[in-house]
Amino acid sequence: MKIDGTPYRSIWVDEEDGWSVRIIDQTKLPWSVDLVRLTTLEQMAHAIKAMLVRGAPLIGASAAYGVALAMRADASGAALDQAIECLAATRPTAINLRWALGRMRARLAPLPPAERAAAAYAEAARICDDDVGVNEAIGRHGLTLIQEKAREGGRVNILTHCNAGWLATVDWGTALAPIYMAHNSGLAVHVWVEETRPRNQGASLTAWELGKHGVPHTVIADNAGGHFMQHGDVDLVIVGTDRVTRQGDVCNKIGTYLKALAARDNGVPFWVALPSSTIDWTIRDGLADIPIEERAAAEVTTMTGRAMDGSITTVRIVPSASPAANPAFDVTPARLVTGLITERGLCEAREAALTQMFRDLA
Ligand code: MRU
> What phi and psi, each to the nearest 5 degrees, are found at residue 94?
-70, 120
Shortest CA distance to 331 belongs to which of 219, 235, 247, 265? Answer: 247
Residue 164: CB within 6 Å of ligand 1? yes
Q: Is the CB of 54 under 6 A from ligand 1?
A: yes
Whether the pLDDT of residue 5 is over 90: the answer is: no
Q: Ligand 1, residue 274: give the atom nearest the CA.
A: 15
**Mean pLDDT throughout 140-148?**
98
- pLDDT of 288 > 90? The answer is yes
For the residues 290-305, what does the mean pLDDT come to?
Answer: 97
Residue 88 pLDDT exceeds 90: yes
Give the global pTM: 0.97
pLDDT greater than 90 at residue 187: yes
> Is residue 135, in this structure, part of any structural domain at all?
no
* 273 Cβ inside 6 Å of ligand 1: no
83, 102, 130 - which closes a domain: 130
Question: How large a percentage of the chain has pLDDT more than 90?
Answer: 98
One domain, residues 280 and 174: yes
Mean per-residue pLDDT, 126-133? 98
Does the CB atom of residue 222 touch ligand 1 within 6 A?
no
Within-domain flag for 79: yes
pLDDT at 326 (0 to 100): 98
Cβ of 201 less than 6 Å from ligand 1? yes
Tally of domains in the chain: 2
- CB-side neighbour CA atoms (13 Å) of 27: 14
> 147: CA distance to ligand 1 center in Å?
25
Same domain, 89 and 199: no
Cα of 114 vs centre of ligand 1, distance in Å, is 36
Name, in order, each residue with C-beta under 8 angstroms of 34's C-beta and a sequence gap of 6 or more: 24, 25, 28
- Give the distance (Å) from ligand 1 centre to CA of residue 153: 32
Question: Which ligand 1 atom is at minimum distance from the Cα of 162?
Answer: 10
Q: Are residues 267 and 311 in the same domain?
A: yes
pLDDT tens per residue across span 264-279: 999 999 999 999 999 9
Largest CA distance in the chain: 63
Are 159 and 45 in the same domain? no
Whichever domain contains 23, its CATH number is 1.20.120.420
pLDDT digits (tens, 9 = 90+) for 229-264: 999 999 999 999 999 999 999 999 999 999 999 999
Clarify whether residues 296 and 150 are in a common domain: yes
Pocket of ligand 1, candidates 162, 259, 331: which has the most ligand atoms within 8 Å of its Cβ, to mutate?
162
Distances, alpha carbon 173 to alpha carbons 105, 163, 188, in Å: 26, 9, 19
Task: Say if ligand 1 is within 6 A of residue 174 CB.
Answer: yes
How many angstroms is it from 154 CA to the middle of ligand 1?
30
Ligand 1 neighbourhood includes 169 CB (under 6 angstroms): yes
pLDDT confidence of residue 36: 98
At residue 4, does pLDDT exceed 90? Answer: no
Is the CB of residue 57 below 6 angstroms from any atom belonging to ligand 1?
yes
- For ligand 1, the distance from its centroid to the CA atom of residue 161, given in whole angstroms, is 9
Atom 15 of ligand 1, residue of closest alpha carbon? 164
Q: What is the pLDDT of residue 1?
A: 87
Pair 166, 124 in one domain:
no
Identify whether residues 153 and 53 lie together within a single domain. Answer: no
What is the tens place of the pLDDT at every residue in 14-44? 999 999 999 999 999 999 999 999 999 999 9
The closest residue, in CA terms, to atom 5 on ligand 1 is: 55
Per-residue pLDDT at 45 exceeds 90: yes
**Which residue segment(s) compose the domain that 61 sits in?**
2-130
Residues in CB range of 58: below 8 A, 6 or more apart:
10, 11, 167, 168, 169, 170
Active site residue 280: no
Ligand 1 centroid to 96 CA: how many Å?
11
216 and 147 together in one domain: yes
Smallest CA separation from ligand 1 atom 8, residue: 253
**For ligand 1, is residue 139 a contact (CB within 6 Å)?**
no
Check 242, 249, 280, 330 and give the catalytic one: 242
Same domain for 52 and 79, yes or no, is yes
Q: Which of 111, 130, 149 is the last residue of a domain?
A: 130
Q: Is the CB of 343 under 6 A from ligand 1?
A: no
Q: What value does the mean pLDDT of the chain take?
A: 98
Give the domain-ending residue among 69, 101, 130: 130
The answer to whether residues 70 and 38 belong to one domain is yes
